[in-house]
Structure 1
């Protein structure tokens, strides 16, 4: 079954908000609100795969205490850049 684009974005936003640790809830929901609508289908698939990763690993990648795997490094860089930009 093929998932509709709008449904995929809603699902990914919910998965971004309902994580295992509060820090990742905040980081990923902030990113999802500003970025998912502009992402290509391939980028959404990559983000979906990222959300399957362990929250503690994600947190170390975002904070820079561990290097992100090459497949996720560009996406992690986008998330970090969003944290460093001024808030609306």
Structure 2
């Protein structure tokens, strides 16, 4: 059975809100709420790949502690890096 686009977005949104630490849940979850519905299939794939990266690695990318590897330097991660979390907007 093929997963529908709506089901895929719901699954990714759930994963975004259940990363592990509260800080990353709030940031990635809010980002997902703000952008997932506008992502095309390829962007959803890049976002899903990002969710597969260990949380401490993504956290270091966000804080600029480590450089982005070329395979993750894409539109989705750049959008996340420019995302401004605002409490109470999700």
> Do the structures match in fold with TM over 0.5?
yes
In structure 1, stretches of 5+ residues that fail to align are none
Q: Which has the higher contact order (CA 8 A, sep 6+)?
A: 2
The alignment's C-alpha RMSD in Å is 1.8
Q: CA deviation at 1:76?
A: 2.1
Which whole-Å CA distance do the structure 1 matches of 2:85 and 2:64 have between them? 13
Deviations 1:4-41 (A, max 9, x none): 00000000000000012221101101110011101110
Other-structure match for 1:80? 81
Distance (Å, rounded) in 1 between the aligned partners of 2:12 and 2:54 = 16
Matched residues in 1 for 2:2 and 2:64: separation? 36
Q: When the two structures are superposed, what TM-score results if normalisation uses the length of structure 1?
A: 0.88
Identify unmatched segments of 5+ residues in structure 2: none
Mapping of residues 34-53 of structure 1, within 5 Å = 34-53=34-53
4+ residue runs of structure 1 moved beyond 2 angstroms? none
